[in-house]
A and B are shown apart, each in its own frame.
Chain A
């Protein structure tokens, strides 16, 4: 059974310099973290289309010590460009929230619906 990754993790994003944005995904449980890390649904090929990018431009990391994933990708415009809409990249995680992941949310209290 799959569900949106947003139901099992907290998200934040921020610039890593003016040309790159980095998204931190903190999982609510170490079990869910391992499911996603080993499940293969969170990888450059699944992230890139949500940002209109090539997979080669996207990096995905898994950080066991804090049960977190990290996604880093190039910004469309440098931070603070005249046509930029998110100067420090604070909302750039939103396109990832609906990404479907498998086998998560078992026994967690916050799951609603099936």
Chain B
């Protein structure tokens, strides 16, 4: 028995011509992982999507006439990027628009992944919360102070709605792989191969050679799986091997809700120039079913200001000048707000062209830089204080004297007004696994006819 499916990206404005070919070739579903926590906490705070909304609308307009004509389900998880309930509703609205505009009919299942802080506290109290690698402290107070918490869904909710006849599945935050592993596993493919193929599929065409091109196809069976491209795309053993390492701390073992995918013995066997057979994935079932949690909390209001320097005289003494300048900014803010202000606002000065990207970990440059952009970020619970501190940075920096120059200094600043208020920011605050009895207990499924 071979189970065939296709993996695509939505939101990037990718070439989707391969979907027609994939549907013609008998894929059982078309899957897309829409999510990422790489872009920061703002998406889980409902502050925006990963890609511009119009990009998703365009992809849905192209996609659904094809999948619907072939009666192939479309499955996506981590809707809108963060996978909050807001993201699911946003995607669901776009799906309705696309179906209505093309006069299509079908059934949509929405899977919501948000969990209440109270439920998490309950599990913590029962000893059913376990920190994962590099997890931050996560006590009762912090849980209850969260802005939003989502479970990272496993394959079971996807299996439930696909079995129920969904033509479109829009899910909240989901394990990237579970979106793709669900249906093959339900059809009888072992978890080792279902998850092994899903590990390659989850980044869409990122595993293709060249990366990012087209639509990838997967033929999964009980001994392994074959990866190839539709519409001219292809893969190589090297491109899949590199994908195995991608954004995963341990290259061999991947923790999933129901067990661990073990890729220590995986083999990539070329079949011609653009297809690869993969064998050797193993699966260790877990004793207890766990769902990873993701969550965000408020981190204050941020204002930023930019100042730039190209004067070689200033730049020969940059380190010293910067130290003195930052101290002068604080003196000015303290003069207005008092000494206690140090506890109420932070100031971080990133000096691009010098050490802006890596800060103190920057390998020391031998020569003075030719140009430096100073970007200061001020963060405070009070937005007016954040703004004031950033403004004090700007005005102090542009006139702060250098030891090498006796007159009145004027530096450059590129923006007017010079301070940009970025509003309220958030912080990821959890990286734990929560033990549950039944993976369908903690999510919410809603059906609708399109």
Contact = CB atoms under 8 A, between A and B. Distances in A.
Interface of A: 14-20, 22, 24, 26, 50-52, 57, 59, 61, 63, 65-66, 68, 70, 72, 74-75, 78-89, 91-92, 94-95, 97-98
Contacts of A15: 37-38, 247
B350 A16 contact: no
B394 interface: no
A19 B247 CA distance: 12
Given A16-B247, A85-B356, A97-B363, A26 B133 contact: no
Contacts of B300: 82
Given A17-B37, A68-B245, A91 B251 contact: no
12 contacts: A17-B37, A17-B431, A65-B241, A68-B242, A78-B41, A78-B428, A78-B429, A79-B41, A80-B41, A81-B427, A84-B40, A94-B361
Which of A65, A66, A70 has the most B CB atoms < 10 Å from its CB?
A65
Contact of B363 (A18, A52, A72, A98): A98
A75 B244 contact: no
Interface in B401-430: 425-429
Contacts of B274: none
A15 B246 CA distance: 9
Contacts of A57: 134
A50 B363 CA distance: 9
Contacts of B252: 61, 63
B266 A65 contact: yes
Closest 10 A-B residue pairs measured CB to CB? A80-B40, A66-B241, A88-B38, A72-B249, A18-B428, A19-B134, A16-B249, A74-B134, A78-B428, A82-B379
A113 B21 CA distance: 52
Nearest to B238: A66
Given A19-B133, A85-B359, A87-B39, 5 more contacts: A17-B431, A50-B361, A61-B251, A78-B136, A85-B356
Contacts of A16: 247-249
Q: Name the residue among B244, B350, B361 with the largest chain A CB count within 10 angstroms.
A: B361
B135 interface: yes
A95 B248 contact: no
Contact of A82 (B238, B250, B302, B362): B302
Task: With a 10 A CB-CB cut-off, give which of A66, A80, A82, A97 has the most chain B CB atoms.
Answer: A82
B299 interface: yes
Contacts of A61: 250-252
B330 interface: no
Interface string B18-46: 00000000000000000001111110000
